[in-house]
């Protein structure tokens, strides 16, 4: 675990802090600033629990109330890390609506939602195309994200219109890319021994997710209801090697957006941010 997250855990335990906070900047081993963070509700969808446990645990560590998706048939339960899980049937628009309502029932609102497309995670689960596999990939890797996005935008808009929320929500599209079968042939050195290369269905779905995300961000660029945030990580991205570090960085990045004196520009909203990159404010969150 990176030193910054070890320090954050140590601070929580040493000083018995029960108010969420984010470390804003470190120089070497010197802690320069801590920003208190109001407790928020975050929905994490796409890397289902328990595989996505590091994501939800990191969000809880950063002070969020967290709901993460699962594809099991178990009843909604609270996990041992404090987060909650809810079943997400990706092929069902009704299930997407139920998922959003489940998140809202926890605190009465959704402040932020993270839609995770982890291509290395999906790659082993989808093989050679046939009618059944193609239909499953379309439902689970494309339609589900689009259904859920529609429901989230509806809820963000309703709360804004009702005057229940003064700050816009944040919709994060988190894309972890993977080496494809074609790339391993064109460039054999690109093959990663720890990851299964993406075959046609997953590679196509990843491209669809990225195109959907950036064009949805363009649609929302001037919106007062929601701030789109596009994050990508390639297989060599150090921050994304562990989900706990990735989510820790993202939580701090989102907190920094809240503290900006000037709103993000439309160009910033439709630009992909590399995981671990500097904040929109122009300085490095961690060094």
Instruction: Indicate the domain borders of the chain.
Output: 3-274
Tokens in use for 69?
């998706």
Give yes or no for a contact between 69 and 145, defined as CB atoms under 8 angstroms apart: no
Residue 182, pLDDT score: 96
Instruction: Calculate the alpha carbon distances from 234 to 3, 102, 156, 175 in Å.
Output: 22, 32, 30, 9
Q: How confident is the model at residue 32, as a pLDDT?
A: 46
The residue ranking higher by pLDDT, 166 or 26, is: 166
**DSSP one-letter code for 195:** S
pLDDT of 30 over the 50 cut: no
Give mean pLDDT, residues 87-109. 94
Confidence category of residue 79, pLDDT binned at 50, 70, 90: confident
Q: Is-contact 235 120, C-beta < 8 A?
A: yes
Instruction: Supply the pLDDT for residue 283.
Output: 47
Residue 22 pLDDT exceeds 60: no
- Supply 71's token pair: 């594809």
Domain 3-274 CATH superfamily: NAD(P)-binding Rossmann-like Domain (3.40.50.720)
Please count the residues of the chain: 287
Measured CA to CA, the distance from residue 102 to residue 88 in angstroms comes to: 11
Tell me what the mean pLDDT of segment 248-271 comes to: 94
């Amino acid at each position: 675990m990176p030193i910054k997250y070890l320090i954050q855990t140590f601070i929580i335990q040493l000083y018995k802090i029960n108010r969420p906070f984010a470390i804003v900047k470190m120089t070497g081993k010197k802690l320069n600033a801590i920003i208190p963070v109001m407790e928020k509700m975050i929905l994490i969808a796409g890397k289902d629990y328990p595989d996505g446990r590091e994501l939800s645990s990191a969000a809880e560590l950063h002070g969020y109330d967290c709901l993460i998706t699962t594809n099991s048939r178990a009843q909604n339960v609270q996990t041992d890390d404090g987060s909650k899980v809810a079943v997400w049937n990706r092929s069902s628009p009704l299930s997407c609506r139920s998922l959003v309502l489940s998140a809202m029932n926890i605190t009465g609102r959704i402040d932020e939602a993270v839609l995770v497309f982890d291509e290395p995670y999906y790659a082993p689960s989808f093989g050679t195309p046939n009618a059944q596999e193609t239909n499953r990939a379309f439902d689970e890797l494309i339609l589900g994200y689009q259904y859920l996005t529609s429901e989230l935008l509806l809820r963000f808009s309703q709360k804004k219109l009702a005057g229940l929320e003064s700050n816009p929500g944040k919709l994060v599209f988190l894309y972890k890319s993977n080496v494809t079968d074609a790339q391993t042939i064109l460039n054999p050195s690109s093959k990663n021994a720890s990851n299964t290369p993406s075959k046609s269905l997953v590679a196509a779905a990843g491209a669809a997710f990225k195109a959907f995300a950036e064009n949805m961000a363009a649609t929302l660029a001037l919106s007062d209801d929601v701030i789109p945030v596009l994050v990508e990580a390639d297989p060599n991205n150090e921050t994304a090697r562990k989900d706990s570090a990735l989510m820790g960085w993202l939580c701090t990045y989102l907190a920094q957006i809240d503290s900006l004196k000037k709103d993000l520009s439309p160009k910033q909203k439709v630009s992909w941010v590399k995981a671990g990159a500097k904040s929109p404010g122009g300085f490095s969150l961690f060094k």
